[in-house]
Amino acid sequence: MTAAEPPPLDPPALLAGLTDLVDEAETSDQGRQRAVEFACSATGAVGATLAAYTGSGGRVVAATSSVQMLLGRPVDTADPLVTKLLTGPAVQQVGLDQIPADVAGVLRERDLHRILLAVGSSGGVPVGSLAVYFADAEGHADSYQMGLVRFLATWTVRLCREAAGPDQSDQARDLFVAVTSHELRTPVTVIKGYADTLVERWESLTEAARREAVYVIGQRSRELARLVDRLLHAASDAAGLMDGADPMPVDPADALRVAAADLPADLRRPLRVALPDKLPTVRGDRAGLATVLTELVRNACKYSPGSVDVELTAGADARTVWIRVADRGVGIRPEHAERAFERFWQLDTGDQRRYGGVGLGLYLVRRIVERHHGWGSLRPRPGGGTVAEVRLPRVDVGTGEA
């Protein structure tokens, strides 16, 4: 069944939409999401994505719901097919035989067969690209569609530069110190307080009070150890020291079941596990997958106060194995779905923060998943909440392996 393509906007609606797009985008995150949604509706396409590039590669940083599975996916700019597209005409119609085979396979599965691609550059260097997807393989973009997509790609260059630009080292260092000191202060203060109480008032405390104090010290010590471990992982990763174990064939269903059983009690209690008996094999390391699951469940619980509806599911399609952790928490806005994977990014900031953490969990998830040659993304969950999804390539696709 072919995906339905809505009609393009008429001229008055187009002008109104362009005005809103330029005037009302309050942040680069919001602007990128508005750009793909407007490009889709204005051209009559089924879906649209926006990718941002740096000297080391690229990434899909915004996507409409119909092609949400591409959000967060790395773009290998060293691939000859990608290089040819980025250095070709500023706007061009592209067939699925002109793009990397894995992406072409994903699009075919969703009955998308034609792409209109526009590349935005700065100083002759590609900074961003806007792609809109159509269901008909034989159609051809008209001058209106090509001009509009080229305009939008040029307009989004600034937004892409902000999305994929190099880190500002001084700001990153200051932010690291700020969030680390904030998060370390609470457990350290609690541990010190209870330890001082035991030392100074041991004789006057009841046995129950002593046990309670020791329990709290142990609980906060484990919390502190987990926090320090995450900070060390992030620091090692930033320095290029976090290589990980050699990849081996892994049954992800078995690895996830074991990892779920080993979760800390506070994360294990609200989690409902619904895994198949077996999944296609992926290549990776079990410890890395366990870390991914821990961080996704911790993030879901963090933003689901009082909720017990956190669910772990997994499955496979023709090319990938997918892992999903879904919650009924506060949800994620589409324009924040990509930003949430940045190091130190927080949903709320300042003295009135409702949620703790240092903004490293999803950053570590992405780094580990990409070492498995996969990608991760967030999206709003129908009915409220968030779905965190990880996709890992099957080893039996295009390799001849069983």
Is the same domain home to 81 and 225? no
Report yes or no on 359 lying in a domain. Answer: yes
Report yes or no on 281 lying in a domain. Answer: yes
* Measured distance CA(127)–CA(75) in Å, rounded: 12
Q: Is the pLDDT of residue 168 over 50?
A: no
Output the CA angle 264-268-271, nearest 5 degrees.
150
Q: Is the pLDDT of residue 166 over 50?
A: no
Q: What is the pLDDT of residue 3?
A: 53
**pLDDT-derived band at 345, boundaries 50, 70, 90:** low
Q: Give the residue from 216, 238, 260 where a domain finishes.
A: 238
**pLDDT-derived band at 401, boundaries 50, 70, 90:** very low
Q: Give the residue from 238, 272, 296 where a domain finishes.
A: 238
Positive or negative CA dihedral for 386, 392, 396, 399?
positive
Q: What is the pLDDT of residue 251?
A: 92
Is the same domain home to 128 and 229? no
Q: Is the pLDDT of residue 238 over 70?
A: no
pLDDT greater at residue 12 or residue 57: 57
**Owning domain of residue 101:** 11-164
- When divided into structural domains, the chain yields a total of 3
Is the same domain home to 63 and 192? no
Is the same domain home to 120 and 194? no
Report yes or no on 16 lying in a domain. Answer: yes
pLDDT greater at residue 183 or residue 197: 197
Q: What is the pLDDT of residue 103?
A: 92
| Mean pLDDT, residues 273-282 taken together | 94
Supply the angle between the helices 252-261 and 286-302 in degrees, to the nearest 10: 60
Q: What is the pLDDT of residue 252?
A: 92
* Measured distance CA(148)–CA(67) in Å, rounded: 20
pTM of this prediction exceeds 0.85: no
Report yes or no on 38 lying in a domain. Answer: yes
Report yes or no on 15 lying in a domain. Answer: yes
Is the same domain home to 15 and 107? yes
Q: Is the pLDDT of residue 230 over 70?
A: no
Q: Is the pLDDT of residue 160 over 50?
A: yes
Is the same domain home to 314 and 221? no
Is the same domain home to 231 and 152? no
Is the same domain home to 16 and 131? yes
Question: Cβ distance 7 to 44 under 8 Å?
Answer: yes
* H/E segment holding residue 368: helix 361-371
How large a percentage of the chain has pLDDT more than 90?
29
Output the CA angle 107-109-115, nearest 5 degrees.
20
Q: Is the pLDDT of residue 169 over 60?
A: no
Contacts of 209 (CB under 8 A, 6+ apart): none
**pLDDT-derived band at 342, boundaries 50, 70, 90:** confident
Q: How many CA atoms lie within 13 A of 347 on its CB side?
A: 18
Q: Is the pLDDT of residue 328 over 80?
A: yes
We report the CATH number of the domain holding residue 226 as: 1.10.287.130
| Mean pLDDT, residues 279-301 taken together | 88
**pLDDT-derived band at 47, boundaries 50, 70, 90:** very high
Query: Which tens digit of pLDDT belongs to each residue from 119-153?
Result: 988 878 888 999 999 998 888 888 888 888 888 88
**pLDDT-derived band at 54, boundaries 50, 70, 90:** confident
- Rounded to whole angstroms, what are the CA distances from 284 to 150, 252, 289, 363, 374? 40, 9, 8, 18, 10
Pinpoint the alpha helices (H) of 77-168.
80-86, 101-109, 143-155, 157-164
- Stretch among 53-57, 90-94, 352-356 having the lowest mean pLDDT: 352-356
**pLDDT-derived band at 180, boundaries 50, 70, 90:** low
Q: What is the pLDDT of residue 14?
A: 66
Q: What is the pLDDT of residue 112?
A: 94
Report yes or no on 28 lying in a domain. Answer: yes
| Mean pLDDT, residues 48-71 taken together | 89
Q: What is the pLDDT of residue 365?
A: 87
Q: What is the pLDDT of residue 352?
A: 40
Is the same domain home to 269 and 196? no
Is the same domain home to 327 and 352? yes
Report yes or no on 1 lying in a domain. Answer: no
Is the same domain home to 337 and 204? no
Q: Is the pLDDT of residue 245 over 60?
A: no
Is the same domain home to 28 and 109? yes
Q: Give the residue from 197, 219, 238 where a domain finishes.
A: 238
- Stretch among 64-73, 187-196, 377-386 having the lowest mean pLDDT: 187-196
Report yes or no on 6 lying in a domain. Answer: no
Q: Is the pLDDT of residue 164 over 50?
A: no
